[in-house]
Structure formats: structure tokens, C-alpha cells
Amino acid sequence: MTILHLCLIFSALLFSLGLAAALARSSGILVLLGIELMLNAANINFIAFWKFSPNPENGTGAMFAIFSIAVAAAEAAVGLALIIAIYRHQSSIRLQDANTLKG
Amino acid sequence: MSASSESILEAFPLTIRDWLASVVPLDWLQWLILSLIGIVAILTVFGLTFAFTTVTERKLLGRFQNRLGPNRVRIFGIRVFGFFQPFADAVKALTKEDIVPAAADKVLHFLAPCAMVAFSLLGFAVLPFGKHLSLLSNIDAALLYFFAAGAASELAIFMAGWSSNNKFSLISSMRALAQLISYELPLLLVAVPAVLMAGSLSLTGIVVNQGGDLGILNWNVFTPWGFAGFIIFFIAALAECNRCPFDLPEGESEIIAGYLTEYSGFKYALFFMGEYFGMMSLSGLGVTLFLGGWQAPCAALAFIPSYLWFYAKLIVMILCFIWMRATLLRLRMDQLMRLSWKFLVPLALVNLGTVTFWKYTADWEGGMLVARWLIAIALVILPFISLGKVLSSGLGPRKYRYA
Amino acid sequence: MTTFPIITLLIIAVITLGITAVALFLKNIIHCSILLAVSWVGIAAFYLWAGAEFVAFAQVLVYVGAVSMVVLFAVLLTQRKQLDLEKLTGTVGFRELGKLAAAMVATVLVIAIATTPLTGSFDAINEPVITVRDIGIQLRDNHIGALLIVGVLLTVALLGAVVVASAEPKTEE
Amino acid sequence: MLGTGILKGLYITAKNLVGSYYSSERLTTIQYPEQRAQLPENYRNFPFLVYDGEDAIDGLRCTACKMCEKECPPQCIYIIPERDEKGKLQKKPKVFDIDISVCMGCGICAEVCPFESIKMDHHFEVAQRNRFAGLLLHREQLAKSNKYYHSIRPKEATAVDESLAEEKRKAEEKAKAAAAAKEAAAKAAAAKAADAAKAKTDDLEEKKN
């Protein structure tokens, strides 16, 4: 077992926590936060592989992490806007309540 | 940078470091001791600055309004124009009853002031106080670190407002969040030009870039983009540390001190302290980005140690903050938002263009140099005037019909 | 010297995982999002540990400074009436099923990772330092297309978010 | 142009800042315990009792008529008149208490007093350690000399003195007149009596004759 293994296990556990949150909680906000956590776990993998890659000089992993953080920010903004829109229609942020396609 | 050519006062951080290296054998122990010394020094210097800023602010506000300000407190019969006031205030804050509302979220209510002070202190770590005086001078992305640390203090304000379980506190924390997010944008955007010119995110690099034979004229503030940037930075910094005229989150007269409503005694004092630390670190950033950091204004004055120059500039910034507070009225929420999104952000974006122009015309000579200045000044002034016209059209002086 | 990074990593990992686990299963959404901000700082600490300080600060700036703020805003905007917090944790069967699935995924992932031979070794921890200058050059030279696309994406996403959130429904009142 | 208003404001405050160090008339602050503002003559706070002469208790103008006690809106005045051994009223207060924690400083007592005895004071530093006993002022604390009254509101005091003197003079005249009338009456009576006696003796003499 190497340090890289530890990093990957860390990220895997974080991913599972995010997955559990996304599956088990029914508040839209928390589901979104769970998804953000999963994205973060992926970023951890990028950084870990970059750190232990044979040629870290070109910094691909770090670049990928930066882009992914930017995308995650956009995702959070849109997701929360959607949740607010859902709240307007259903006056609830439970995802079980958001089960109709009609507004 | 040879230590021999510098005065003892200038080089004393290096001396301490070398002496420690000779006394303490272990690397990590050296690092620990040096960090501790740095932390203690920052806490002492800025703690005292905080204490005396509060009393200076009160005295100056009095003078700005033709009053005397506090001048009573004396210790052992000595009354130094009331400058012992902060000690009396400290004793008062310490001995007051600490009230926690029954409906409050106890843990968050306790954590919020601690977080506030802790986060506001984080910014000091990267500020270059002097030529050889900075806690984390080797950090590459120092500016980013500074803003990251500043972002966290919003969380503390939110915690305070929400945990108090008081509608005024909640309104205030919503206002604070909206305000801090809105004004962080222009703050970041006007920091970029300085980075662009220095070619480095490191604050030390930015300061070194403002040095040179011209002395004071090398400072960023004496370029068109730097001047505009400094003004925008100053306004955004006022808003970032909730100072008048942007003190809506506190708004004593409308939402009874907002997120501070349910705080008393020492926790209140901690908030106060955090706010002033935030103000000082933001002023320090302004000094670093635009006012040449620790650079002396001209070579003849360079015998005064660099950290004293930094400190003097910092004090001047803080005095300007106080001056603003004495002069301006509090904004309304919609005016606050409009000022940031419709005025400061576009101007900051235009400023980015100006600095790009400035950077690409760095080698213009002679008559072209004049043209460079004129174009840059026009690039700063024209958007300001036209945007101001557009935004303030129809907002003439108010007519008091029923007065 | 080789154990020091490992201990640091373990401390960061345990604290982050612990805080995240507590955060995600708290009933109070506000507590939840504040604790999650702490766990994001933990992840940033991991990036610092790995030598990617730019990424770490960007992480703090974006997640603590922006995302958690937006989340808190969303919570405050959607909690006008005192919500029944119990309702937000889903039905019991659903909840348990979700946790079970996550645990299974975790098991599979950990087993897969543990059985894969990897080269990152204990002793030869190279210190890859990517300076901000390097990142800038990379962005300018190799990833300029991606940078532009991300910029457009962010703009569009923010505009979309504003439009979606501000679409005032016609109230028949 | 945008921002000029702010600059103007900054100029004004800066002028204040510098000016307050040079011209003392800008500073309106009065450093209270050491310096005191001149109170206007008609300032009123709590009532006090005026006495004439040297002795505070004997010289009280108050006659314990209880007019003020009856008129006082918050009923903070409490009076017991003095009586001698036989229980006869002495036109002096034995007890005259004002509870200044209740008093609202309306000045009605001073208005209604027919003897110019109760007046409104300028003294406002009335804080006490004891909330109840300390703020209940007795006769001795309330009695203040006419000289003091003159010192705080000279105009009114002079007018009062004049009117009192006038009244006294009138009273004396009246008394004199009364005394003269009495004397005349006595004389008349004596004359009458003498006449009667004379008549009687005349009568007797007539009878004798």
C-alpha cells in the first residue's frame, strides 16, 4: 500500500459519503451538496494522481482540478436556482414533492 | 539585498533568524519558534493598533463633528487626552455579563465571534510588512490566499446572524452576505491589474515591482489605472469591512446593530476586534497593491525602516476610513447593490482593459509617452463620467415638497 | 522524514471524512452547510498537502466563499415557514437503501483501489510544486480553448441561474 | 459630475477637524463636572421651601396650609402642621416631605402657594445611593434661604420680595387702621360708659331730689 492508495481511499470514502447524501436525503439542497462532494472527491483523485505521476511538471491534474472547480461552481449556482424555482412551484424543497412535470 | 548595506533596524528580522539558526539545531523547531514569534508580534502590534484605533476613531469623529470625543479616562491620575480609553473599554467588556438568548443556537452563537477573529487574522499572514518582515513570504499565490481567508469571515457573520434566532440578526446576516459577495467582485477585479503589472500573485513581488529610482512615482496609485483601481478598491474595502457608509448589516438605527444584537460583553468585543482586524488587513492589502507597500517615497527617506513606512501608510488608510465614516450617510440596500453591480464592477472591468493597454505600451517613448498617458486617462475618466451620467440620470437633487 | 507526510495526510483525511459524515446526516440544514464548509477547507488542506496551493486557495475561495454562501442563501429563501425538519430526511426505507448503496459502492471502490498496484511510494515523495506562473503559462498555451469554454460556460450558467431564480410566477391572488 | 458631492462633504468634515483645534467657538461641548452651563432663570427642577432670616426652620414662610399638597398632581407632598401642647394649630409645618422620585417638576405647587413659600429649584444633581429614603426630602433639606432664591432667579425673587413687602405694609396699615378703629371704639365706649354713668348719677340725683 502506498501513499497514493491512501489518497485514493480517502477520495473513495468521500465519494461514498456524497453518494449517500444524494441518495438518502430528500432536501434538494442537501442532494446538491452531496453531488458537490462527489465532484470534490474526483478532484482529490486528479490531484493525487498528478502528485504521484512520473512527470508532474506539466501540471495536467492541477489544471483539470481548476477547471472542475469552475464547473462545480457553475453547477452549484444553477442547481440552487433550480431549487428556488422548485420551491416557488411546490413551496417545498423535498424532492419527493417535485414529481410533476407541470408547473 | 546584502544585509551589510542596510541599517540594523531594517535587517533585524534576518538577524533574529540567523541567531535562531545558530542556537536551535532542529529545523522544525526553528520554524516553530519563528512562526510563534511572528504570530505574537502580529497579535501585539495589531492588537495595540486596534485598541488605539478605536479611541482615535472616537476622538476624530468628535473633532469631525466639532465635539471633543473621549478625554476622561486616567490611570494613576494621568490623563493622556483620553488615550487610556481602550483599557477601560476592555475591562468593561470583560466584566460584563455574557448573555446567550434562550432560543439561540448555543454552539454557533459561541463559535461565531471566535471564527470572526480567527478568519480576520488570517489575512495578516501574507502581508509583506517590511523588506524582510512577512510571515508567509514564500507563498506563491498570496493574493489568492488573502481573498480566500477573507471569504471565510462571511461565514462567521452568517453564523452570528442566524444563531441569534432574532429577526433583525437574520435580516442583517442576509444583508451582510449579499453585500460581501457583491463587493468581493470589484475588490478582486481591481487587484488583478496590480498582479498583471507585477507578473506575480505574490504580494512581495507586487511590492518589489513598485520600487525603483522614481520613488513615489513608481507606486501603482500614480498611474491612471492605479488611481482608478485604488478608488474602487477603497470603496469596495469600505463595504467589505462593513464600515460606514456601507454599514447596513449593522444599521444601528434600523435593525438595532443587526448580527450584533444578541451579543454582549466579551463576545461583542471580539466581533469588534474582528471587524477592525479585517479593516487593518484590507488596508494593508491596499497599501501593498497600490501605495507601494513598504517602499519609501524617495531614496533619501529610505533610511527609515521599511516596516515603519508600511505602518505609516496603513495608519493613513485607516484615518481615511474614519474620515469617510464621519462624512457619509448610510446607503439603502438597493443603492448598495446598484453601486456594486452597475458601477464598480463595470468600471473595474474597464480598468482591466486600461491596464492591458498600459502594459503593452510600456516601451513608448517621448511624444508617445504623453499619448500613452492621455489615452489611459481618457480610458479611466470617460467610462466614469458616462456611466455616472447614465446611472444618475433622473436622480437629481431631491425636492422637499412637504418640508 | 517519510512518516511525516503520511501522518499529515491521515489527520487531514480522518478529520475531513468525520466532519463530512456528521454534516451530511444532521437534521438542521444550516448546521449541515456550515460543517460542509469546514470539510471543504479540509479538502483544500489536502490540496495544500499535495503541493497544489493555487488549487487549494481556489477551492477555499470558490467553495467557502461562494458556494456555501449561495447554499445558505438558498436555505434562507426556502425556509420561510418553519419546515418540518424530520420530513427532509426521506422515508426510512429509502434512507436506509441509499446508505446501503453508498456503503456498497465504498466497499467496491476501496477493494478495487487496495488491490491495484500503484507506483506512488512511501519513500520517494517527490515535491511537485506547480507555481502560479506555470499555471498561467499552461492556461495560455495548452488549455486556452478550455479556458474560453469555461468562461462562456460560467457566464451562461450564471445568467441561466439568474433567469431561473428570478422568474416570478404569475400569482393569482 | 459624479462624486463631487462626496468631495464637498469630505471638505466640510476636514474643515471641522482642523477648525476644532483652532477656534474654540466651534466646540460647543461643556466639560460638565468642571464647567457648568448657565441655567436660564426660568429653569425649574424640583420644589424647595424659602425661609427668611437666619434660622431655617423658624423662618419658613410656609404656613402648612396644605394647598400644595392638595394641588400636587402626582401627590408627592406630605405635610403635617405643627401643634402646641394644647393641640392648637401653629401655622408651621411639623413635617414637610417631598418625594422627588415621584415629583414631575410641574411647578403647580409654586403657582398655588399663597405665601410665596414653595419655589422651583435649579438644583438637578439629585442622584442618591438610596432610592427610597435618599430621594424623600425633608423640611430641613428643602428649606433654602431667600438669599439662595435671589441667587438662582433674581428677577422673580425681587418681585416676590416687593409684593411681600407690599402685603406686609398693607397688613400693617390695616392693622394700624384696625388698631385706630379699636381705639376709637374703645374711646367711644368709654365715653358712652361715662355718659351712662353720668346719666345714672343724674338719675339717682333726680330720685334723691
Q: How far apart are CA D99 and CA D78, in angstroms?
A: 8
Q: How many CB atoms lie within 10 A of CB D93?
A: 24
Output the pTM of the full model: 0.79
Helix (H, G, I), strand (E, B) or coil at B386: helix
Model pLDDT, residue B6 = 65
ipTM: 0.71
For residues D61 and D92, state if they share a domain.
Answer: yes
Beta strands D143-145 and D47-51: pairing type?
Answer: parallel
Model pLDDT, residue C76 = 78
How far apart are the CA of C28 and the nearest CA of chain A, in angstroms? 11
Task: State the residue range of the domain holding D170.
Answer: 166-200
pLDDT above 90: percentage of residues in chain B: 2
- Which of these ranges, A85-94, B372-381, C120-129, has the smallest mean pLDDT? C120-129
Q: How far apart are CA B343 and CA D2, in angstroms?
A: 11
For residues D137 and D186, state if they share a domain.
Answer: no
Tell me which chain C residues have a C-beta less than 8 angstroms from the C-beta of A19: 101-102, 105
Picking from A15, A73, A80, the nearest residue to C109 by CB comes out as: A15
Distance of CA B276 to the CA centre of its chain: 9
Picking from B140, B150, B184, the nearest residue to C53 by CB comes out as: B140
Q: For residue D66, give the amino acid letter.
A: K
Residue of B nearest to D21 (CA): B63
3-state helix, strand and coil shares in percent for chain B, rounded to the nearest 5: 70, 0, 30
- Which of these ranges, B100-114, B327-341, C36-50, C80-94, has the smallest mean pLDDT? C80-94
Q: How far apart are CA C160 and CA C165, in angstroms?
A: 8
**CB pair distance less than 8 Å for D3 and B388:** yes
CB of B340 closer than 8 Å to CB of B182? yes
For residues D174 and D146, state if they share a domain.
Answer: no
pLDDT of residue B309 exceeding 80, the answer is: yes
How far apart are the CA of B387 and the nearest CA of chain D, in angstroms? 9
b (16+ CB within 10 A) / e for C66-103: bbbbbbbbbbbbbeeeebeeeebbbeeeebeebbeebe
D residues 20-79 lying closer than 8 A (beta carbon) to B: 20-21, 26-29, 31
Tell me which chain B residues have a C-beta less than 8 angstroms from the C-beta of D28: 66-67
Q: Is residue D56 part of a domain?
A: yes
DSSP states of C73-127 as a string?
HHHHHH-SS---GGGGG--HHHHHHHHHHHHHHHHHHHHHHHTS-----SS----
B66: left (phi over 0), alpha (psi -120 to 50) or beta: left
3-state helix, strand and coil shares in percent for chain C, rounded to the nearest 5: 75, 0, 25
**CB pair distance less than 8 Å for A7 and C88:** no
CB of C150 closer than 8 Å to CB of A66? no
Model pLDDT, residue C80 = 56
Picking from C43, C102, C109, the nearest residue to A44 by CB comes out as: C43
Tell me which chain B residues have a C-beta less than 8 angstroms from the C-beta of C151: none
pLDDT above 70: percentage of residues in chain B: 97
How far apart are the CA of B65 and the nearest CA of chain D, in angstroms? 6
Nearest residue to A89 via CA among C68, C29, C164, C27: C164
C109, three cell numbers:
471502490
Model pLDDT, residue D84 = 82
Angle at A8 between CA A41 and CA C42, to 5 degrees: 50
Mention every residue, 6+ apart, whose C-beta is less than 8 A from residue D194: none
For chains B and C, CB pairs below 8 A equal 70
Number of domains in chain D: 2
Distances (CA, A) of C25 to A102, B200, C36: 31, 43, 11
Model pLDDT, residue C125 = 54
pLDDT of residue C173 exceeding 50, the answer is: no
pLDDT band of B4, cuts 50, 70, 90:
very low
- B393 close contact with D: CB closer than 8 A: no
**CB pair distance less than 8 Å for D29 and B323:** no
Q: How many CB atoms lie within 10 A of CB D100?
A: 20
D64: left (phi over 0), alpha (psi -120 to 50) or beta: left
- Which of these ranges, A48-52, B311-315, C81-85, has the smallest mean pLDDT? C81-85
Nearest residue to C53 via CA among B141, D57, B214, B124: B141
Residue of B nearest to C74 (CA): B174
Which CATH number is C3-130 given?
Answer: 1.20.120.1200
For chains B and D, CB pairs below 8 A equal 46
**CB pair distance less than 8 Å for D1 and B388:** yes
Mention every residue, 6+ apart, whose C-beta is less than 8 A from residue B225: B193, B351, B354, B355, B358, B376, B379, B380
**Residue D143: strand pairing partners:** D49
- C53 close contact with B: CB closer than 8 A: yes
Q: Mutate one of A1, A5, A31, A86 to test the C interface: name it (highest C CB count within 10 A).
A: A5
Q: Mutate one of B238, B246, B324, B327 to test the D interface: name it (highest D CB count within 10 A).
A: B327
How far apart are the CA of A1 and the nearest CA of chain C, in angstroms? 7
How far apart are the CA of B285 and the nearest CA of chain C, in angstroms? 17
Tell me which chain A residues have a C-beta less than 8 angstroms from the C-beta of C74: 29, 80, 83-84
Q: How many CB atoms lie within 10 A of CB B331?
A: 18
Q: How many CB atoms lie within 10 A of CB B164?
A: 27
What average pLDDT does the segment C23-47 reach? 84
Burial of residue B278 (number of CB atoms within 10 Å: 0-12, 13-18, 19+): buried
Instruction: Assign 3-class secondary structure to chain D.
Output: CCCHHHHHHHHHHHHHHHHHHHCHHHCCCCCCCCCCCCCCCCCCCCEEEEECCCCCCCCECCCCCCHHHHHCCCCCEEEEEEECCCCCEEEEEEEEEEECCCCCCCCHHHHHCCCCCEEECCCCCCCCCCCCCCCEECHHHHEEEHHHHHHHCHHHHHHHHHHHHHHHHHHHHHHHHHHHHHHHHHHHHHHHHHHHHHHHHHHHHHHHC
Q: Is residue D6 part of a domain?
A: no
**CB pair distance less than 8 Å for A19 and C102:** yes
Q: For residue B336, give the amino acid letter.
A: L
Angle at B131 between CA B126 and CA B135, to 5 degrees: 30
- Which tens digit of pLDDT belongs to each residue from D12-50? 888 888 888 888 788 888 888 888 888 888 888 888 888
The backbone torsions φ and ψ at residue B78, rounded to the nearest 5 degrees and listed phi first, read -95, 130
User: Could you tell me the residue ranges of all domains in chain C?
Assistant: 3-130, 132-173
What average pLDDT does the segment B187-212 reach? 84
Q: How many CB atoms lie within 10 A of CB A61?
A: 24
How far apart are the CA of C108 and the nearest CA of chain B, in angstroms? 36
User: Could you tell me the residue ranges of all domains in chain B?
Assistant: 99-386
- C64 close contact with B: CB closer than 8 A: yes
Model pLDDT, residue B161 = 83
Model pLDDT, residue C1 = 46
DSSP state of B73: -
Nearest residue to C155 via CA among D8, A71, B38, B191: A71
Interchain contact C/A (3 or more Cβ pairs less than 8 Å): yes
C63, three cell numbers:
467553495
How far apart are the CA of B350 and the nearest CA of chain D, in angstroms? 17
Q: Mutate one of B143, B158, B187, B195 to test the C interface: name it (highest C CB count within 10 A).
A: B158
User: Could you tell me the residue ranges of all domains in chain A?
Assistant: 26-97
Q: Mutate one of C1, C34, C127 to test the B interface: name it (highest B CB count within 10 A).
A: C34
Averaged pLDDT score across all residues of chain D: 85
Distances (CA, A) of A36 to A43, A79, C33, C36, D15: 11, 10, 12, 10, 55
Picking from C44, C65, C133, the nearest residue to B154 by CB comes out as: C65
C42, three cell numbers:
479540509
Tell me which chain A residues have a C-beta less than 8 angstroms from the C-beta of C160: 78, 81
What average pLDDT does the segment B274-296 reach? 87
What average pLDDT does the segment B209-230 reach? 80
- Which tens digit of pLDDT belongs to each residue from B55-87? 888 888 888 888 888 888 777 777 777 778 888
pLDDT band of D209, cuts 50, 70, 90:
low
Residue of B nearest to C4 (CA): B28
Q: Which residue has the cell 512581495?
A: B204
pLDDT of residue C123 exceeding 50, the answer is: no
Q: How far apart are CA B202 and CA B215, in angstroms?
A: 21
- Which tens digit of pLDDT belongs to each residue from B289-299? 888 878 877 77
CB of B325 closer than 8 Å to CB of B61? yes
**Residue C10: strand pairing partners:** none
CATH code (residue D124): 3.30.70.3270
Tell me which chain D residues have a C-beta less than 8 angstroms from the C-beta of B65: 13, 16
Beta strands D136-137 and D118-120: pairing type?
Answer: unpaired
pLDDT of residue C81 exceeding 70, the answer is: no
Q: How far apart are CA A100 and CA C165, in angstroms?
A: 19
For residues D170 and D148, state if they share a domain.
Answer: no
Averaged pLDDT score across all residues of chain C: 77
Q: How far apart are CA B248 and CA B171, in angstroms?
A: 10
What are the strands, taking DSSP E only, across B201-317?
none
pLDDT band of B2, cuts 50, 70, 90:
very low
Helix (H, G, I), strand (E, B) or coil at B297: coil
The backbone torsions φ and ψ at residue D143, rounded to the nearest 5 degrees and listed phi first, read -70, 125
- B64 close contact with D: CB closer than 8 A: yes
Nearest residue to C47 via CA among C130, C133, C124: C130
Tell me: cis bond preceding B245? Omega within 30 of 0 counts: yes
- Which of these ranges, B184-193, C8-17, C129-138, has the smallest mean pLDDT? C129-138
Model pLDDT, residue B143 = 85
The gap between the terminal CA atoms of chain B, to the nearest Å, is 67
pLDDT band of B1, cuts 50, 70, 90:
very low
Nearest residue to B148 via CA among C48, A68, C60: C60
What average pLDDT does the segment B225-238 reach? 89
**CB pair distance less than 8 Å for A5 and C113:** yes
Q: How many CB atoms lie within 10 A of CB B379?
A: 20
How far apart are the CA of C21 and the nearest CA of chain A, in angstroms? 7
Q: How far apart are CA C62 and CA C49, in angstroms?
A: 19
